[in-house]
Amino acid sequence: MGKKLKKMAVVFAAALAAAISGGCGPSVPKLNVYMWSDYIDPDIVQKFEDENGCEVVISIFDSNESMYAKLKAGGTGYDVILPSSYMAKVMNDEKMIETLDLSKLPNVKNINSEYMKKLALDKTFKYSVPYMICYSCVAYDKGKCPNLPDTWGVFGDSKYRGRMTLLNDYRETIGAALKANGYSLNTRDDSELEKAKETLLKWKPNLARLDNEGYKSGVQSGEFVVVHGYSGDLYQVLEESKNLAVMIPKEGVSLSCDDWVIPADSKNKDLAYAFINYMCDPESAAANMEVTKYLSPVDGASKLMSDENAKSVVIPKAVYENGEMIIDLGEDNAKYLKIWDEIKISQ
Ligand code: N2P
């Protein structure tokens, strides 16, 4: 976690302490944002609060599925949510989110048109606005794993038994096993999925655990030596730990984008629109890229970044060439979930 994101953790703790001790300042409108961790510049959030006379309250989820499950179990009170594109589509199909009024989002004109044409799942901003593009790859300890080959197959290597993690994210991790076998990570083919399951059953004994958050500090502290993670999170960790490197498996990786949506039951829709619009401003996007190391699709943002970061926040050619966007599979999602349950309960 970079310095700014650490500062944000301290601010959260202070806010929590104030809430518990019953602090009673003047009440200002609150915008409740539900999103992934380490994923926004706290200074940009502060600027938005100052300019809009409001308080932004950020709650964190660590996977699309846990966020979705929480909403389905009756979780309410959010004004803006940040699912990945495939999950935003599910939420739209299930009428959980607003159809967007684009007159309240003038800054969507800044979203890169090539991205919208080629990769976006919601090509007309009908229900979502893209925030950051992500791919998943592997970080490893260069000293403890010299000459690590660039293949998903490393998870099958018992040399690193007990010191590796894969994401606790069924589309990412089954996707990695599909790619390892040369298949599409959006396959609906039963025999390909069966092969991916066999691969994961072979990999599992080598894993310390499936993990979506702790792998970052774990690989920094040396507890883990090979971790599967989200690109920006891994680059945030690399910035602080010179003994680590990133490996992009040659068989291909997942590409995904996280998209802002407004839940149908938001009580602060105008403020929600203002927030999403603010994030599509090139200056906000540049600041968010600097801190999170993910790639924003906002045109003009990279030009505003420091040279060093602008160079690192690009999608490597290998990712574009072999990467595949995760799409929603409708009823066939059930095939993936069944495999995931079998993997989780296997010893
Ligand atoms: C988590 C960011 C994750 C993005 N820090 C994955 N879509």
* pLDDT of residue 16 exceeding 80: no
Measured in Å, residue 250 CA sits from the centre of ligand 1 at 22
Rg (CA), the chain: 20
3-state secondary structure (DSSP) of residue 333: helix
Task: For residue 64, give the ligand 1 atom closest to its CA.
Answer: 7
The protein residue with its alpha carbon nearest to ligand 1, atom 2, reads 36
Mutate which of 1, 34, 39 for ligand 1? The one with the most ligand atoms within 8 Å of its CB, which is: 39
Ligand 1 and 38: CB distance under 6 A: yes
Task: For residue 257, give the ligand 1 atom closest to its CA.
Answer: 7
pLDDT for the residue 303 = 86
* pLDDT of residue 17 exceeding 80: no
Mean pLDDT for all residues in the chain: 92
Query: Residue 258, CB half-sphere, CA atoms under 13 Å: how many?
Result: 27
Ligand 1 and 295: CB distance under 6 A: no
pLDDT for the residue 310 = 72
pLDDT for the residue 22 = 47
Using pLDDT thresholds of 50, 70 and 90, give the confidence band for residue 317: confident
pLDDT for the residue 311 = 67
* pLDDT of residue 136 exceeding 80: yes
Ligand 1 and 84: CB distance under 6 A: yes
Using pLDDT thresholds of 50, 70 and 90, give the confidence band for residue 21: very low
Measured in Å, residue 56 CA sits from the centre of ligand 1 at 19
Q: What is the DSSP string of 291-332?
A: HH-PBP-BTTTGGGS-HHHHHHSS--HHHHHH-EE----GGG
Q: What is the mean pLDDT of residues 285-289?
A: 96
* pLDDT of residue 25 exceeding 70: no
Residue 80, φ and ψ in degrees, nearest 5: -140, 135
Inter-CA distances, 250 with 101, 137, 176, 179, 181, Å? 41, 10, 11, 9, 12
The two beta strands, 254-260 and 129-141, are antiparallel
3-state secondary structure (DSSP) of residue 271: helix
Measured in Å, residue 216 CA sits from the centre of ligand 1 at 12
pLDDT for the residue 287 = 96
* pLDDT of residue 314 exceeding 90: no
Ligand 1 and 230: CB distance under 6 A: yes
Ligand 1 and 132: CB distance under 6 A: no
Ligand 1 and 63: CB distance under 6 A: no
Tens of pLDDT, residues 155-206: 999 999 999 999 999 999 999 999 999 999 999 999 999 999 999 999 999 9
As given in the structure block, the two tokens for residue 145 are: 């794993």
Measured in Å, residue 168 CA sits from the centre of ligand 1 at 12
Measured in Å, residue 191 CA sits from the centre of ligand 1 at 30
Tens of pLDDT, residues 62-118: 999 999 999 999 989 999 999 999 999 999 999 999 999 999 999 999 999 999 998
pLDDT for the residue 13 = 52
Tens of pLDDT, residues 218-256: 999 999 999 999 999 999 999 999 999 999 999 999 999
Ligand 1 and 258: CB distance under 6 A: yes
pLDDT for the residue 316 = 76
Task: For residue 36, give the ligand 1 atom closest to its CA.
Answer: 1
Q: What is the mean pLDDT of residues 119-139?
A: 96
pLDDT for the residue 198 = 98
Measured in Å, residue 82 CA sits from the centre of ligand 1 at 10
Distance of CA 136 to the CA centre of its chain: 9
Left if phi > 0, otherwise alpha if psi is -120 to 50, otherwise beta: which for 229?
Answer: beta
As given in the structure block, the two tokens for residue 147 are: 């000459």
* pLDDT of residue 273 exceeding 60: yes
User: Taking the C-alpha atoms of 102, 107, 112 and 113 in order, what is their torsion angle to the nearest 10 degrees?
Assistant: 40
* pLDDT of residue 308 exceeding 90: no
